[in-house]
Structure 1
Amino acid sequence: MTKEQYESFEVAAKPLIQWLAENVHPHHSAVVTSTDAELFMSECVVKTEEFLKD
């Protein structure tokens, strides 16, 4: 990724980050593709790297 692409991505992403901060609680996340955007709410998350293989 070039510096210009990174900067362009940052400009595009910040409005969505701001919208999330102002409209939903911190358990929400958004996934954006070239054809849609989805809003998710996590109720429970368990993270582990216990089963990853090298």
Structure 2
Amino acid sequence: MTLQTMSDDLLISSYLYAVKININPDFIALLYCEIERRNIKHLLTIEQSNKI
């Protein structure tokens, strides 16, 4: 599986989990770039507010 083939939900969840466990910053940046490329940054705020 590549970033391009991941579902939006899986990509967002992966990004949030990577940030939570403080994984490699380059990997977090890669996930975020894919989120930006897909134009789904608005899902980050929805997902974050649902987890609080």
Normalising by structure 2, we get a TM-score of 0.35
- Bigger radius of gyration among the two: 1
Greater relative contact order, per chain length (Cα 8 Å cut-off, separation 6+): 2
Higher normalized helix content (fraction of residues): 2
Normalising by structure 1, we get a TM-score of 0.34
